[in-house]
Amino acid sequence: MRIDAISIFPDYFSALDLSLLGKARDKGLIQFQAHDLRNWTTDKHKTVDDTPYGGGAGMLMKPEPWGLALDEVLGVSPDTDATSNATVIFTSPAGEVFNQALAYELAQEERIVFACGRYEGIDQRVVDYAASKAKVRLISIGDYVLNGGEVAAIAMTEAIARLIPGVIGNAESLAEESHSGEGLLEYPSYTKPAEWRGMEVPEVLLSGNHAKIAAWRYEQQVERTKRVRPDLLPPESN
Ligand code: 6GU
Protein backbone atom coordinates (compact mmCIF):
# COMPACT_ATOMS: atom_id res chain seq x y z
CA MET A 1 0.00 0.00 0.00
CA ARG A 2 1.09 3.53 -0.70
CA ILE A 3 0.03 6.34 1.67
CA ASP A 4 0.61 10.07 1.07
CA ALA A 5 -0.26 12.93 3.38
CA ILE A 6 -0.57 16.58 2.37
CA SER A 7 -0.18 19.02 5.27
CA ILE A 8 1.36 22.33 6.29
CA PHE A 9 3.17 20.40 9.06
CA PRO A 10 4.74 17.41 7.26
CA ASP A 11 7.19 16.97 10.16
CA TYR A 12 4.37 15.52 12.28
CA PHE A 13 4.63 12.38 10.16
CA SER A 14 8.19 11.59 11.24
CA ALA A 15 6.47 9.72 14.10
CA LEU A 16 5.72 7.01 11.51
CA ASP A 17 9.44 6.29 11.08
CA LEU A 18 9.44 4.73 14.54
CA SER A 19 8.95 1.09 15.50
CA LEU A 20 6.53 -1.18 13.71
CA LEU A 21 5.62 1.09 10.82
CA GLY A 22 9.22 1.98 10.11
CA LYS A 23 9.94 -1.75 9.81
CA ALA A 24 6.95 -2.27 7.52
CA ARG A 25 8.35 0.47 5.30
CA ASP A 26 11.81 -1.10 5.32
CA LYS A 27 10.24 -4.43 4.29
CA GLY A 28 8.47 -2.65 1.39
CA LEU A 29 4.98 -3.48 2.68
CA ILE A 30 4.06 0.21 2.97
CA GLN A 31 5.32 3.31 1.22
CA PHE A 32 4.64 6.55 3.04
CA GLN A 33 5.33 10.11 1.88
CA ALA A 34 4.40 13.39 3.57
CA HIS A 35 4.13 16.53 1.41
CA ASP A 36 4.29 20.20 2.44
CA LEU A 37 1.23 22.02 1.09
CA ARG A 38 3.23 25.26 0.98
CA ASN A 39 5.29 23.77 -1.89
CA TRP A 40 2.25 24.43 -4.07
CA THR A 41 1.73 28.08 -3.09
CA THR A 42 2.72 30.70 -5.66
CA ASP A 43 3.13 33.88 -3.56
CA LYS A 44 6.13 35.11 -1.61
CA HIS A 45 4.45 34.49 1.76
CA LYS A 46 3.35 30.93 0.86
CA THR A 47 -0.21 31.77 1.87
CA VAL A 48 -2.55 28.83 2.47
CA ASP A 49 -5.49 30.51 4.24
CA ASP A 50 -8.03 33.31 3.78
CA THR A 51 -11.22 34.65 5.36
CA PRO A 52 -14.52 32.80 4.78
CA TYR A 53 -17.16 34.17 2.39
CA GLY A 54 -20.32 34.97 4.33
CA GLY A 55 -18.33 35.83 7.44
CA GLY A 56 -17.72 33.78 10.55
CA ALA A 57 -14.87 33.03 12.88
CA GLY A 58 -11.41 31.99 11.80
CA MET A 59 -9.67 31.29 8.54
CA LEU A 60 -10.24 28.74 5.81
CA MET A 61 -7.71 26.96 3.61
CA LYS A 62 -7.58 28.46 0.09
CA PRO A 63 -8.38 26.16 -2.85
CA GLU A 64 -5.47 26.95 -5.19
CA PRO A 65 -2.56 25.26 -3.32
CA TRP A 66 -4.78 22.25 -2.55
CA GLY A 67 -5.78 21.90 -6.21
CA LEU A 68 -2.16 21.90 -7.40
CA ALA A 69 -1.07 19.54 -4.60
CA LEU A 70 -3.84 17.02 -5.31
CA ASP A 71 -3.18 17.18 -9.08
CA GLU A 72 0.48 16.31 -8.56
CA VAL A 73 0.07 13.70 -5.82
CA LEU A 74 -2.87 11.99 -7.58
CA GLY A 75 -1.48 12.43 -11.10
CA VAL A 76 -4.63 14.15 -12.38
CA SER A 77 -5.40 17.50 -13.99
CA PRO A 78 -8.47 19.74 -14.37
CA ASP A 79 -7.88 19.56 -18.16
CA THR A 80 -8.10 15.80 -18.64
CA ASP A 81 -10.54 13.01 -17.75
CA ALA A 82 -7.86 10.83 -16.13
CA THR A 83 -8.83 9.66 -12.66
CA SER A 84 -6.78 8.24 -9.79
CA ASN A 85 -7.18 4.82 -8.15
CA ALA A 86 -6.41 6.46 -4.78
CA THR A 87 -8.88 7.13 -1.99
CA VAL A 88 -8.55 10.70 -0.73
CA ILE A 89 -9.34 11.07 2.97
CA PHE A 90 -10.13 14.59 4.14
CA THR A 91 -9.59 14.66 7.90
CA SER A 92 -12.53 16.48 9.44
CA PRO A 93 -14.41 16.55 12.74
CA ALA A 94 -17.49 16.71 10.48
CA GLY A 95 -16.72 13.34 8.86
CA GLU A 96 -17.88 9.77 9.47
CA VAL A 97 -16.25 8.37 12.62
CA PHE A 98 -13.24 6.10 12.15
CA ASN A 99 -13.41 2.63 13.71
CA GLN A 100 -11.88 -0.82 13.36
CA ALA A 101 -14.32 -1.85 10.60
CA LEU A 102 -13.30 1.21 8.58
CA ALA A 103 -9.62 0.43 9.25
CA TYR A 104 -10.14 -3.07 7.76
CA GLU A 105 -11.96 -1.58 4.77
CA LEU A 106 -9.21 0.98 4.10
CA ALA A 107 -6.48 -1.67 4.55
CA GLN A 108 -7.74 -3.13 1.22
CA GLU A 109 -6.89 0.07 -0.70
CA GLU A 110 -3.92 0.33 -3.03
CA ARG A 111 -3.42 4.04 -2.35
CA ILE A 112 -4.61 6.47 0.30
CA VAL A 113 -3.98 10.23 0.25
CA PHE A 114 -4.67 12.10 3.48
CA ALA A 115 -5.58 15.75 2.98
CA CYS A 116 -4.98 17.31 6.40
CA GLY A 117 -6.94 20.49 6.99
CA ARG A 118 -6.03 23.16 9.55
CA TYR A 119 -7.83 26.31 10.67
CA GLU A 120 -11.60 26.05 10.17
CA GLY A 121 -11.24 23.63 7.26
CA ILE A 122 -10.74 23.64 3.49
CA ASP A 123 -12.78 25.40 0.77
CA GLN A 124 -15.56 22.91 -0.14
CA ARG A 125 -14.66 23.10 -3.85
CA VAL A 126 -11.41 21.24 -3.11
CA VAL A 127 -13.42 18.29 -1.76
CA ASP A 128 -15.78 18.43 -4.75
CA TYR A 129 -12.86 18.62 -7.21
CA ALA A 130 -11.10 15.65 -5.54
CA ALA A 131 -14.38 13.68 -5.72
CA SER A 132 -14.42 14.22 -9.51
CA LYS A 133 -10.95 12.62 -9.80
CA ALA A 134 -10.85 9.96 -7.06
CA LYS A 135 -12.85 8.26 -4.30
CA VAL A 136 -13.24 10.73 -1.43
CA ARG A 137 -14.16 10.25 2.22
CA LEU A 138 -14.43 12.72 5.11
CA ILE A 139 -13.29 11.01 8.29
CA SER A 140 -13.15 12.06 11.96
CA ILE A 141 -11.33 10.11 14.68
CA GLY A 142 -13.84 10.93 17.40
CA ASP A 143 -16.16 13.46 18.95
CA TYR A 144 -13.67 16.13 20.00
CA VAL A 145 -11.82 18.86 18.12
CA LEU A 146 -8.14 18.86 17.15
CA ASN A 147 -6.30 21.87 15.73
CA GLY A 148 -5.55 19.99 12.54
CA GLY A 149 -5.84 16.62 10.83
CA GLU A 150 -2.21 15.51 11.18
CA VAL A 151 -2.60 13.58 14.42
CA ALA A 152 -5.81 12.04 13.06
CA ALA A 153 -4.03 10.94 9.86
CA ILE A 154 -1.20 9.40 11.90
CA ALA A 155 -3.70 7.51 14.08
CA MET A 156 -5.56 6.21 11.02
CA THR A 157 -2.32 5.28 9.23
CA GLU A 158 -1.20 3.22 12.23
CA ALA A 159 -4.59 1.48 12.58
CA ILE A 160 -4.73 0.70 8.84
CA ALA A 161 -1.09 -0.27 8.28
CA ARG A 162 -0.96 -2.83 11.09
CA LEU A 163 -3.77 -4.77 9.33
CA ILE A 164 -1.69 -5.25 6.18
CA PRO A 165 -0.47 -8.87 6.06
CA GLY A 166 3.14 -9.12 7.26
CA VAL A 167 3.19 -5.86 9.23
CA ILE A 168 2.25 -7.56 12.51
CA GLY A 169 4.28 -10.68 13.24
CA ASN A 170 1.54 -12.56 15.09
CA ALA A 171 -1.76 -12.52 13.18
CA GLU A 172 -3.52 -14.07 16.21
CA SER A 173 -2.92 -10.91 18.22
CA LEU A 174 -5.06 -9.08 15.63
CA ALA A 175 -7.97 -11.51 16.05
CA GLU A 176 -7.97 -11.33 19.86
CA GLU A 177 -7.68 -7.60 20.50
CA SER A 178 -10.42 -5.14 21.44
CA HIS A 179 -12.83 -4.16 18.62
CA SER A 180 -12.08 -7.33 16.64
CA GLY A 181 -14.18 -10.44 16.15
CA GLU A 182 -17.21 -10.28 18.42
CA GLY A 183 -16.55 -6.60 19.15
CA LEU A 184 -15.95 -7.05 22.87
CA LEU A 185 -13.17 -5.28 24.77
CA GLU A 186 -10.08 -7.30 25.63
CA TYR A 187 -9.86 -9.27 28.89
CA PRO A 188 -7.28 -8.17 31.54
CA SER A 189 -3.85 -9.79 31.13
CA TYR A 190 -1.09 -10.75 33.56
CA THR A 191 2.55 -11.81 33.29
CA LYS A 192 5.20 -12.84 35.82
CA PRO A 193 5.70 -12.52 38.78
CA ALA A 194 2.64 -14.39 40.13
CA GLU A 195 2.59 -12.03 43.13
CA TRP A 196 3.52 -8.35 42.88
CA ARG A 197 3.12 -5.66 45.56
CA GLY A 198 0.72 -7.93 47.42
CA MET A 199 -1.47 -8.52 44.34
CA GLU A 200 -1.91 -12.01 42.97
CA VAL A 201 -2.63 -13.16 39.44
CA PRO A 202 -6.17 -14.67 39.24
CA GLU A 203 -5.82 -18.34 40.18
CA VAL A 204 -7.64 -19.66 37.13
CA LEU A 205 -4.82 -18.38 34.90
CA LEU A 206 -2.33 -20.58 36.77
CA SER A 207 -4.59 -23.66 36.62
CA GLY A 208 -3.50 -24.95 33.21
CA ASN A 209 -7.20 -25.67 32.45
CA HIS A 210 -7.60 -24.09 29.01
CA ALA A 211 -11.38 -24.41 28.86
CA LYS A 212 -11.76 -22.72 32.26
CA ILE A 213 -9.29 -19.99 31.25
CA ALA A 214 -11.18 -19.30 28.02
CA ALA A 215 -14.50 -19.14 29.92
CA TRP A 216 -13.03 -16.75 32.54
CA ARG A 217 -11.57 -14.49 29.86
CA TYR A 218 -14.88 -14.34 28.00
CA GLU A 219 -16.72 -13.46 31.24
CA GLN A 220 -14.19 -10.68 31.86
CA GLN A 221 -14.68 -9.35 28.33
CA VAL A 222 -18.46 -9.22 28.71
CA GLU A 223 -18.28 -7.65 32.18
CA ARG A 224 -15.78 -4.99 31.10
CA THR A 225 -17.70 -4.16 27.92
CA LYS A 226 -21.01 -3.85 29.85
CA ARG A 227 -19.34 -1.58 32.39
CA VAL A 228 -17.33 0.82 30.20
CA ARG A 229 -18.73 0.45 26.67
CA PRO A 230 -22.36 -0.76 26.76
CA ASP A 231 -22.79 0.89 23.35
CA LEU A 232 -20.68 -1.94 21.84
CA LEU A 233 -23.11 -4.65 22.96
CA PRO A 234 -26.11 -5.75 20.88
CA PRO A 235 -29.29 -3.90 22.01
CA GLU A 236 -30.97 -7.01 23.54
CA SER A 237 -28.15 -7.42 26.11
CA ASN A 238 -28.57 -3.91 27.61
CL1 6GU B 1 -9.98 14.20 11.49
N2 6GU B 1 -9.67 16.65 12.46
C3 6GU B 1 -9.80 17.59 13.41
N4 6GU B 1 -9.34 18.82 13.18
N5 6GU B 1 -10.37 17.35 14.59
C6 6GU B 1 -10.80 16.12 14.79
C7 6GU B 1 -10.70 15.10 13.85
C8 6GU B 1 -10.12 15.40 12.67
N9 6GU B 1 -11.23 13.97 14.37
C10 6GU B 1 -11.64 14.30 15.58
N11 6GU B 1 -11.40 15.59 15.85
Nearest to 156 by CA among 97, 110, 70: 97
Q: What is the pLDDT of residues 45-93, one digit of tens each?
A: 999 999 999 999 999 999 999 999 999 999 999 999 999 999 999 999 9
Handedness of CA 181, 185, 191, 194 (dihedral sign): negative
Q: Coil, helix or strand for 225?
A: helix
- Which pLDDT belongs to residue 22? 78
Distances from the Cα of 166 to the Cαs of 20, 99, 185, in angstroms? 11, 21, 24
- Using the mean position of ligand 1's atoms as its centre, give its distance from the Cα of residue 155 in Å: 11
Q: What is the pLDDT of residues 102-114, one digit of tens each?
A: 999 999 999 999 9
- Which pLDDT belongs to residue 19? 66
- Which pLDDT belongs to residue 180? 83
**Mean local confidence (pLDDT), 196-211:** 98
- Using the mean position of ligand 1's atoms as its centre, give its distance from the Cα of residue 234 in Å: 28
Q: Residues with Cβ < 8 Å from 107, sequence gap 6 or more?
A: 1, 160, 161, 163, 164
**Chain-centre distance of CA 191, in angstroms?**
30
Substitution site in 145, 154, 156 for ligand 1 pocket (most atoms within 8 Å of beta carbon): 145
**Mean local confidence (pLDDT), 183-195:** 97
- Which pLDDT belongs to residue 119? 79
- Checking if the pLDDT of 164 tops 70, the result is yes
Q: What is the pLDDT of residues 106-146, one digit of tens each?
A: 999 999 999 999 978 999 999 999 999 999 999 999 999 99
The per-residue pLDDT of the chain, averaged, comes to: 95
Distances from the Cα of 48 to the Cαs of 45, 62, 91, 133, in angstroms? 9, 6, 17, 22
Ligand 1 atom, smallest distance to 117 CA: 4
